[in-house]
Amino acid sequence: LKTWKILAKLRCCPRRTTTIVQAILVLHHTEADRYSG
């Protein structure tokens, strides 16, 4: 997650940050599954 520039400028409450990170991970895994097989 360190290389994701969207998180570098993120300024909001920790609860919202957690939700955003979870959504990013879902999208990341969806894309990874699409291209792996």
Average pLDDT over residues 25-33: 87
pLDDT at 3: 65
Write out pLDDT tens, residues 13-22: 888 888 888 9
State both tokens at 29: 């895994």
Tell if the pTM clears 0.95, that is, is over it: no
What is the C-alpha separation between 19 and 11, in angstroms, rounded?
13
pLDDT surpasses 80 at 1: no
Domain span at 21 = 2-36
Q: What are phi and psi of 3, to 5 degrees?
A: -85, -5
Contact 30, 20 (CB under 8 A): no
Q: What's the angle, vertex CA 22, arms to CA 14 and CA 35, rounded to 5? A: 150
For the chain, what is the domain count? 1
pLDDT band for 37, please (50, 70, 90 cuts): low
pLDDT surpasses 80 at 4: no
